[in-house]
Amino acid sequence: MQSGSVLLYRAALDSGVRQEHFVIRCGFRLNIGYDKNMSNNKKTNTELAEDRTDWAEDRTVLANERTFAGWMRTGLAAVGIGLGFNALFGKLEPWWLPRLIATIFIVIGLFIFYMAQRNGRKVQDRLQAHDAIPMQGMNLQLIAGFMALGSASLAVGMWLIEIPD
């Protein structure tokens, strides 16, 4: 058996896992003599609980980033729907109607970008990362700001472009 497996087994026994549970979860059993008092790195239940709490907070920080990315995708989808609507129905009469509908979708996308960065910053400011390395709050604002600037530029360009007959 490899030494990593022995260390994993010893760590499991140190943390209070019964041997039967370890065998069922890991699928192998080591026939070694192991004295639970051999470990100098034994943690108390309070320290183990604090570690679990820290890891949970790290998972929440990373989940916040995934949520931010999801909202940014949703905002880009709204902008894409607006541009697609204008491209498909650009020849409708009156001429301003497809552009107005497309602009409404783009404004919805801008609103989603703003809310994503605001909520992402709010959650990020409340939490403290321990082992995870989160994105800086300013980066959330920069990403949302550049997405909003690009989307607003598309809306302005859509109104300024003249479609040939």
Q: What is the pLDDT along the chain (165 residues), one digit of tens a residue?
A: 444 444 445 555 555 555 544 444 444 444 444 445 545 567 888 888 888 888 888 888 888 899 999 999 999 999 999 999 999 988 888 889 999 999 999 999 999 999 999 999 898 888 777 777 777 777 889 999 999 999 999 999 999 987 655
pTM: 0.67
Residue 123, number of CB atoms within 10 A of its CB: 17
Shared domain for 61 and 32, answered yes or no, is: no
Shared domain for 155 and 94, answered yes or no, is: yes
Q: Is residue 43 part of a domain?
A: no
Give the domain extent around 33.
3-38
Helix/strand/coil for 133: coil
Shared domain for 81 and 110, answered yes or no, is: yes
Q: In terms of Cα–Cα distance, which of 55, 37, 36, 39 is closest to 47?
A: 55
- Per-residue DSSP letters for 111-130? HHHHHHHHHHHHHHHH---S
Gap between the Cα atoms of 151 and 161, Å rounded: 15
Q: How far apart are the first and last CA of the chain?
A: 77
Number of domains in the chain: 2
